[in-house]
Amino acid sequence: MLEEIISWILFTFFKLNPELKWVDSLNFFINDSIKIILLLFIMILVIGFLRTYFPQEKIKKWISKSKFGSGNFFASLFGAMTPFCSCSSIPLFISFLEAGIPLGVTFSFLITSPLVNEYLVILMLGFFGWKITLAYVISGMFIGMISGLILGKMKLEKHLEKDLISKNVKKEIKFKTIKDRLKFGLNEAVSITKKLWLWILIGVGIGAIIHNYVPSEFIQSIVSKGGIFAVPLAVVLGVPMYGSCAAIVPIAVVLFEKGVPIGTALAFMMAISALSFPEAVILRRVMKLKLIAIFFGVVTVAIILTGFIYNLLGGILV
C-alpha cells in the first residue's frame, strides 16, 4: 500500500516519468526511507515493551549459558526467517543490543537476515533449482554463525557508540501497568529514532543512486574476465552495491549463464545482500569505523572462501 501511495503521488499527482533514472531513484529513496524508519520505530517499541518482562541481566545470563555457539545458531535461524535487506536488519540489530544480547550473537542475525530470506529462496528455486538454493541457505546461515562467533570472541564492544547503545545494565525499573511498559518502549523508540533518522536518509540516498546508476552489464563484464581472481573481484564489486532480492538474483543468473562459475555468481549475490555501502553509513551511527571495518572484513573473507568452495563443488551442485 505504501508503494502504491508513493507511486500515485509521484507518477499521477506530480506526473513524473517513471522511466527516468532520477525519478526511479527518488521513488526508491522515498519508499526505503519510510520503510526503514517506520521499521526502526516499531521494532524498538515492541522489543522495548517486551524487555520490561525480561530484564537485561536475565537475558545476558541466559545467552551466556548457551554452549557450542547455540546462541549464534538461533540468531542466524531467526535472521533467515526475517524478510529484511541489509539496511532493514539494523533496527532489530540495535534492539537486540539494547536488550543486552552479546555483540557476536547480534552480528549473526545482522549477517544472516539479508543473506537468507523467503523471497530470495523462492526466486532462487525458480532460477537455480533446489540443490543450489539449499547450498546457498546452508552457507548463508553458516557464514552468519561463524562470523558472529569470531566477532564475539574479539571483544569489540568498546567500539560501539556509547550514546546509542547501553553498555552497562540499567537499574531495574518496576512496571506496574501495561501503560508503563508501553511508555518505556515508546520512549526507547523515540530516543533511538531521533539519533538515527538522518543517517538512514543518507544511507538510503546513496543506495538509491547506486541502485539505478551502476550498470549491471559493466559488473558482469569485469567479473567474467576475472580469471582466478573472479571470486574476490566479484565480492569486492558486490559490497558497495545495494539492491532488492528481485534485482540481485537475476544478475547472478546472467553471470552463471555467461559461463561464470556458480561459486563466483553466488559470492557476488551474497556480497550485495549481506554488505552494502548504505548499510555501513547507517551503522556508523551505531559503531565506530574500526568495528565496521572488522565486521565487513570478516564477512567478506567468509563469502570469498564460500565462493571458492562452491566453485570446487560446481559439478555436484549444477
Q: For the segment 71-109, what is each residue's pLDDT rounded down to a tens digit? A: 899 889 888 887 677 777 888 888 788 777 888 999 999
Question: What's the pLDDT band for 184 if we cut at 50, 70, 90?
Answer: confident
Cα–Cα dist 73/77, whole Å: 6
Q: How far is CA 252 from CA 124, 139, 296, in A?
A: 10, 16, 21
Amino acid occupying residue 139: S
Range of lowest pLDDT (10-19, 204-213, 263-272, 307-316): 204-213
Which triple of cell numbers denotes residue 126? 525458480
Q: How far is CA 311 from CA 116, 124, 223, 297, 317, in A?
A: 20, 18, 14, 21, 9
Rounded to 5 degrees, what are φ and ψ at 160?
Answer: -80, 150
Task: Report the range out of 78-82, 117-121, 153-157 with the highest average pLDDT.
Answer: 153-157
Phi and psi for 41 in degrees, rounded to 5? Answer: -65, -50
Grid cell of 171 as nine digits: 537499574
User: How far is it, in rounded angstroms, from Cα 104 to Cα 79?
Assistant: 14
CA–CA dist 123, 258 (Å, integer): 19
- Asked if residues 188 and 45 have their Cβ atoms less than 8 Å apart, the reply is yes
What is the rounded CA–CA span in Å between residue 276 and residue 200?
13
The mean per-residue pLDDT over the stretch 195-218 comes to 76
Helices (H) and strands (E) in the chain, counts: 16, 0
Could you tell me the sign of the dihedral formed by the alpha carbons of 124, 130, 136, 140, in that order? positive
C-alpha distances in Å from residue 312, one per residue of 125, 270, 308: 21, 18, 6
d(CA 135, CA 232): 19
pLDDT of residue 270: 87
Give pLDDT, residue 161. Answer: 82
| C-alpha–C-alpha distance, residues 173 and 155, integer Å | 28
Angle in degrees, 0-180, between the axes of helices 178-213 and 21-51, rounded to the nearest 10: 160
- Distance from C-alpha of 181 to C-alpha of 46, rounded to nearest angstrom: 10
Best mean pLDDT range from 47-51, 94-98, 242-246, 288-292: 288-292
For 36-40, 165-169, 222-226, 259-263, which range has the lowest pLDDT when averaged over its residues?
165-169
pLDDT in the model for residue 40: 78
Half-sphere exposure of 42 (CA within 13 A, CB side): 8
Spatial distance between the Cα atoms of 251 and 196, rounded to a whole number of angstroms? 32
Give the pLDDT mean for 194-207. Answer: 82
Beta bridge partners of 287: 160
pLDDT tier at 165, thresholds 50, 70, 90: low
What are the DSSP E strand ranges found in the chain?
A: none
Number of neighbours of residue 29 by Cβ within 10 angstroms: 19
pLDDT for res 169:
45
Task: Say what the pLDDT of residue 59 is.
Answer: 61
Amino acid at 101: I
Angle between helix axes 230-238 and 289-312 (nearest 10 degrees) is: 140
